[in-house]
């Protein structure tokens, strides 16, 4: 066997033997349910049966263990990426074959004990559930659970059936439908782990002791008096809750994510039948999901692309790791205050500077407010909150920035102002330090002209609100050196955020692509399509909010300011900037109708005090055209394709250098629907040829914004991932 070691070891009393099954996939840092493991599991099960027949009552039990630093990682996702819908019947048979081995081991009448030396997620947790008794090392870094829905799958290797029978329908829902994970101590509280030990070395002795004390064992659902915790689906209390569950789920998924809906169906249907029938129901749902495009999209991005970023694939190699200890921030407004919180939360000493002490103090007060909320909810101890706040020094003096390894300016989007604060603060950097701008649109190479060391100048673009948004876009200027890019990457990871690396361009990647989404929405309004149709179509496609609502939140005045700055830049270069229909409509909203956005009292929406926001009634008379024809699918395609097209252009132009940065950046930065796997996976998921045919149709009907030149088409094909 290549992935499993099998041996007989003496039982605790020396009067019998225990089968020790150690998972040890060769050439891999983790154990996975690869095809070889599935074959080896069959062989290991056969050896257990043979030893039981040979030894009789002398085979006292079975121990499941791992030779890796974790217990078991789960399914072989590369193999899953190669599956097609026609593979579903074969996938179903393989799932059933594996579960047959699980069932054989747990119904021998002897105790099976799992020694959980580290994390067991997804299929790994389902392997642990074979055991009647689970012992875990009490390490807070260890995680257990079933996060399959986050990858477009469901826990179909007994996970749904067993967790529902262990916890009950209602208690199991957050763990299955939301993929919530948990640590060893929480697992023990829920009854999912039965015993905790302090070290890995204590696991096997504890397992042997349990086997000696419990010579017979069966799973709870195999007992004659078993009753499902909380009640079966037919009980009035559960039935009433289940009536609204599908509607609540659809409200969240908008029908775009089949995995949670299939998981809920498998839970309820499985709870109405016997255990073995429930397993078959679960297998059928999993086989269907595993061969679906949504699962491939989500696995590609949330597993492979995310791991590529975590592993530093976008980080320049050969540069020593940087651990920030003191970082300065220029500007204590919304962005600066948010960055200060993010830094102080991760133990970084933070100097928060503004033009006067009062403004700096207000910036620190933002962290005080966030900390107080966490203390109130029991998520933070008061002393931890005080330690965090003590790391933030509000000041009006540039001298207090002395010794900072990094200074980030987060002032208003004005080139002259940014140049002024750069020249003032840069001399305070520690030796070897570097400077960053938090600009969302202005080219970094231009801003670096104010720097005495442009090779140590970089863009670090946070997203608002900083305390909630995980993505940070790192922008390399024309003169930025590799060391600065690598140190910026390390800084972002030190904040427990997700870094993507892009090259300099107006709007970089995220702002540039985000602009196409909101301006396409505004353009459709200018064509006479009803605002409510545009907004609802966007959300049904999977965008978090509609384009008009987003424009309101980010301020229509900001969009106008960016457009005016762009016009001025073009004029300085002797060129004329051609505004898009969407930009012209937004300009009218601000200048003609005095609708600056939410912060200014209203934009496309009205915001009544104490009431729910609603679309500005005058939109109908000003822009909507009763006779205009529209189609929901066409509207959704315009919104999604426009972003994917701009992403492909960024890839062709070298603004983006990798597909993983594009996919992760589009989802976590601009809210591109997760079911697509991101803006580039949206293309690959539907097939390049089909995508390009639809692009040509959209370009013919809706203009050059949808036109893709040969260079972009070649880039799409050249970057297509292979599995």
**In whole angstroms, what is the distance from residue 494 CA to residue 347 CA?**
9
The predicted-structure confidence for 398-412, as pLDDT tens digits, reads as follows 999 999 999 999 998
Mean pLDDT over 627-634 rounds to 94
Mean pLDDT over 349-364 rounds to 97
The predicted-structure confidence for 538-567, as pLDDT tens digits, reads as follows 999 999 999 999 999 988 998 898 888 888
Q: Quick one: which H or E segment has residue 146?
A: none
Question: Strand 614-615 and strand 605-606: pairing?
Answer: antiparallel
Q: For the domain that residue 437 is a member of, what is the CATH number? A: 3.40.50.720
What mean pLDDT value characterizes the chain?
95
Domain tally for the chain?
3
Q: pLDDT at position 132, please? A: 98
Q: How confident is the model at residue 413 (pLDDT cuts 50, 70, 90)?
A: confident
* CB 380 within 8 Å of CB 341: no
Q: pLDDT at position 248, please? A: 86
Sheet containing 195-197: which strands, arranged edge to edge?
4-10, 17-23, 59-66, 112-116, 133-137, 195-197
Same structural domain, 474 and 516 = no
Tell me whether residue 376 is one of the annotated catalytic residues. no
Alpha helices of 203-345 — where are they, by DSSP H? 203-213, 236-253, 258-271, 275-290, 293-299, 306-310, 334-345
User: To the nearest whole percent, how much of the chain has pLDDT over 70?
Assistant: 100
From 25, 106, 148, 473, active-site residue: 148
Whether 473 is covered by a domain: the verdict is yes
Per-residue pLDDT at 71 exceeds 90: yes
The set of residues, in sequence order, having a beta carbon less than 8 Å from that of 667 and lying 6+ positions away, is 301, 673, 674, 678
Same structural domain, 485 and 564 = no
Same structural domain, 444 and 556 = no
Whether 302 is covered by a domain: the verdict is no
The predicted-structure confidence for 84-141, as pLDDT tens digits, reads as follows 999 999 999 999 999 999 999 999 999 999 999 999 999 999 999 999 999 999 999 9
List the one residue out of 237, 244, 234, 236 whose CA is nearest residue 264. 244
Q: Quick one: which H or E segment has residue 130?
A: none
Q: Which of residues 503, 527, 554 is at a domain's end?
A: 503
Q: How far is CA 638 from CA 392, 546, 712, in A?
A: 45, 13, 18
Whether 690 is covered by a domain: the verdict is yes
Tell me whether residue 126 is one of the annotated catalytic residues. yes
Q: Over the range 388-397, which residues count as b (16 or more CB within 10 Å of their CB) and which as e?
A: bbebbbbbee
Same structural domain, 17 and 98 = yes
From 126, 261, 282, 405, active-site residue: 126
Same structural domain, 481 and 599 = no
Same structural domain, 471 and 612 = no
Q: pLDDT at position 174, please? A: 94
Q: pLDDT at position 507, please? A: 84
The predicted-structure confidence for 577-603, as pLDDT tens digits, reads as follows 888 999 999 999 999 999 999 989 999
Q: Quick one: which H or E segment has residue 105?
A: helix 88-106
List the one residue out of 74, 64, 83, 77 whose CA is nearest residue 23. 64
Same structural domain, 543 and 472 = no
Whether 309 is covered by a domain: the verdict is no
Question: Cis peptide leading into 465, omega within 30 of 0?
Answer: yes
Q: pLDDT at position 568, please? A: 86
Same structural domain, 608 and 628 = yes
Q: Interior CA angle at 103 toward 102 and 106, to 5°?
A: 90
Same structural domain, 492 and 526 = no
Q: pLDDT at position 290, please? A: 96
Q: pLDDT at position 76, please? A: 87
- Residues spanned by the domain of 480: 326-503
Per-residue pLDDT at 63 exceeds 90: yes
Q: pLDDT at position 251, please? A: 86
Same structural domain, 18 and 157 = yes
The predicted-structure confidence for 605-621, as pLDDT tens digits, reads as follows 999 998 999 999 999 99
The predicted-structure confidence for 367-386, as pLDDT tens digits, reads as follows 999 999 999 999 999 999 99
Same structural domain, 184 and 203 = yes
* Torsion 609-610-612-617 (CA) sign: negative
* Torsion 129-132-137-138 (CA) sign: positive
Mean pLDDT over 682-695 rounds to 96
Same structural domain, 497 and 571 = no
Q: Which of residues 478, 503, 528 is at a domain's end?
A: 503
Whether 642 is covered by a domain: the verdict is yes
Q: For the domain that residue 128 is a member of, what is the CATH number? A: 3.90.226.10
Whether 70 is covered by a domain: the verdict is yes
Whether 317 is covered by a domain: the verdict is no
Per-residue pLDDT at 30 exceeds 80: yes
* CB 40 within 8 Å of CB 74: no
- CA-based R_g, the chain, Å: 29
- Helices 581-591 and 556-572: crossing angle in degrees, nearest 10, is 120
Q: For the domain that residue 600 is a member of, what is the CATH number? A: 1.10.1040.50
Whether 477 is covered by a domain: the verdict is yes
Q: Which of residues 447, 468, 503 is at a domain's end?
A: 503
Question: Strand 74-75 and strand 120-121: pairing?
Answer: unpaired
The predicted-structure confidence for 230-239, as pLDDT tens digits, reads as follows 999 988 888 8
The predicted-structure confidence for 240-279, as pLDDT tens digits, reads as follows 888 888 888 888 888 899 999 999 999 999 999 999 999 9
Q: How confident is the model at residue 441 (pLDDT cuts 50, 70, 90)?
A: confident
Question: Strand 429-437 and strand 457-462: pairing?
Answer: parallel
For residue 268 the two structure tokens come to 């309820």
């Amino acid at each position: 066997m290549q992935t499993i070691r099998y041996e007989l070891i003496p039982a605790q009393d020396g009067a019998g033997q225990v089968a020790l099954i150690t998972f040890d996939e060769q050439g891999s840092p983790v154990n996975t349910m690869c095809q070889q493991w599935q074959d080896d599991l069959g062989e290991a099960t056969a050896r257990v049966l043979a030893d039981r027949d040979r030894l009789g009552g002398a085979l006292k039990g079975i121990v499941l263990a791992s030779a890796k630093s974790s217990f078991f990682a789960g399914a072989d996702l590369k193999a899953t990426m190669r599956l097609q819908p026609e593979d579903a019947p074969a996938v179903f048979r393989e799932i059933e074959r594996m579960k047959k081995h699980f069932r054989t081991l747990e119904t021998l009448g002897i105790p099976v004990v799992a020694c959980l030396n580290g994390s067991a997620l997804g299929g790994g947790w389902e392997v642990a559930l074979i055991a009647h008794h689970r012992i875990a090392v009490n390490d807070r870094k260890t995680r257990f659970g079933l996060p399959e829905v986050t990858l477009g799958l469901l826990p179909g290797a007994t996970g749904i059936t067993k967790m529902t029978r262990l916890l009950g329908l209602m208690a199991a829902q957050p763990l299955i439908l939301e993929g919530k994970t948990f640590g060893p101590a929480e697992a023990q509280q829920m009854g999912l782990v039965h015993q905790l030990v302090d070290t890995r070395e204590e696991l096997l002795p504890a397992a042997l002791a349990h086997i000696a004390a419990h010579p017979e064992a069966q799973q709870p659902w195999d007992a004659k008096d078993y009753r499902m915790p909380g009640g079966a689906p037919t009980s009035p209390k559960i039935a009433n809750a289940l009536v609204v569950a599908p509607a609540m789920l659809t409200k969240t998924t908008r029908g775009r994510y089949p995995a949670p809906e299939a998981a809920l169906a498998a839970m309820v249907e499985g709870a109405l039948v016997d255990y073995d029938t429930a397993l078959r129901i679960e297998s059928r749902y999993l086989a269907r999901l595993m061969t679906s495009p949504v699962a491939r999209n989500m696995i590609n991005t949330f597993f492979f692309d995310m791991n590529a970023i975590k592993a530093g694939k976008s980080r320049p190699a050969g540069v020593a790791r940087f651990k920030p200890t003191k970082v300065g921030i220029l500007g204590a407004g919304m962005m600066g205050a948010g960055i200060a919180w993010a830094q102080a939360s991760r133990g970084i000493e933070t100097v928060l500077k503004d033009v006067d002490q009062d403004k700096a103090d207000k910036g620190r007060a933002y962290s005080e407010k966030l900390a107080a909320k966490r203390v109130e909810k029991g998520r933070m101890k008061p002393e931890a909150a005080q330690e965090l706040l003590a790391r933030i020094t509000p000041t009006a003096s540039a001298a207090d920035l002395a010794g900072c390894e990094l200074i980030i300016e987060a002032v208003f989007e004005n080139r002259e102002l940014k140049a002024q604060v750069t020249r003032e603060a840069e001399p305070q950097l520690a030796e070897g330090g570097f400077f960053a701008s938090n600009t969302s649109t202005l080219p970094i190479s231009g801003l670096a002209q104010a720097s005495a060391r442009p090779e140590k100048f970089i863009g670090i673009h946070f997203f608002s609100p900083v305390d909630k948004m995980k993505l940070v876009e790192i922008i390399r200027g024309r003169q930025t050196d590799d060391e600065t890019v690598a140190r910026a990457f390390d800084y972002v990871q030190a904040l427990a955020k997700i870094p993507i690396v892009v090259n300099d361009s107006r709007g970089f990647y995220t702002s540039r692509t985000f602009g196409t989404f909101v301006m396409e929405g505004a353009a459709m309004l200018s064509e006479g399509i009803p605002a409510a149709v545009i907004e609802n179509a966007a959300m049904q496609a999977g965008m978090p909010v509609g384009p008009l609502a987003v424009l309101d939140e980010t301020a229509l005045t900001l969009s106008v300011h960016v457009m005016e700055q762009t016009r001025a830049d073009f004029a300085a270069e002797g060129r004329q900037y051609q505004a898009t229909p969407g930009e012209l409509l937004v300009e009218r909203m601000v200048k003609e109708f005095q609708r600056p956005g939410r912060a200014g009292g209203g934009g496309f929406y009205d915001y009544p005090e104490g009431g729910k926001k609603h679309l500005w009634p005058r939109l109908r008379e000003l822009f909507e055209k009763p006779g205009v024809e529209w189609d929901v699918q066409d509207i959704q395609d315009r919104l999604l394709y426009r972003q994917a097209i701009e992403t492909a252009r960024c890839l062709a132009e070298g603004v983006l250098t990798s597909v993983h940065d594009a996919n992760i950046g589009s989802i976590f930065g601009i809210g591109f629907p997760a079911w697509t796997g991101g803006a580039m996976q949206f293309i690959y998921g539907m097939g390049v040829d089909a995508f390009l045919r639809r692009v040509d149709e959209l370009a013919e009907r809706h203009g050059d914004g949808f036109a893709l030149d040969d260079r972009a088409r070649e880039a799409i094909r050249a970057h297509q991932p292979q599995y």
